[in-house]
């Protein structure tokens, strides 16, 4: 399993958000980010293999970008957000980081999962 995982629940439907493209970035300095992984949510709204096994998690700031605008467009729904970014800090590289997204067309929230 990837050291960084995520899942998305579409709270407007009470169902997982499938087919959402996700990118994972690592901050390299104040203004620059390096793309280190990408994936798409499965039928359960999860991406459990996001980070390739040859990429080590280090103490750093990371950003998950969820292409939620495309997801809602594919469902024929309007949304306020073209994408949702979650920026988080890894302080313990040996731990697992699960970062869920609770989503609806006009809002979202997140938390550190387990």
Note the pLDDT of residue 114.
Answer: 87
Q: Is 76 left (phi over 0), alpha (psi -120 to 50) or beta?
A: left
Phi, psi of 40 (to 5 degrees): -135, 135
Instruction: Quote the pTM value.
Output: 0.93
The answer to whether 8 and 98 have CB atoms below 8 angstroms apart is: no
Q: What are phi and psi of 25, to 5 degrees?
A: -120, 150
pLDDT digits 0-9 by tens, 50-104: 998 788 899 999 999 999 999 999 999 999 999 999 999 999 999 999 999 999 9
């Amino acid at each position: 399993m990837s050291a960084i995982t995520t899942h998305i629940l579409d709270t407007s439907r009470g169902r997982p958000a499938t087919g959402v493209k996700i990118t994972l970035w690592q901050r390299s300095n104040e203004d620059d980010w390096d793309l280190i992984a990408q994936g798409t949510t499965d039928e359960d709204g999860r991406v459990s293999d996001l980070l390739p096994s040859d990429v080590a998690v280090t103490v750093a700031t990371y950003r998950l970008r969820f292409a939620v605008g495309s997801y809602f467009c594919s469902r024929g729904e309007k949304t306020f957000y073209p994408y949702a970014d979650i920026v988080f800090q890894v302080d313990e590289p040996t731990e697992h980081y699960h970062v869920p997204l609770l989503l609806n067309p006009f809002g979202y929230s997140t938390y550190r999962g387990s």
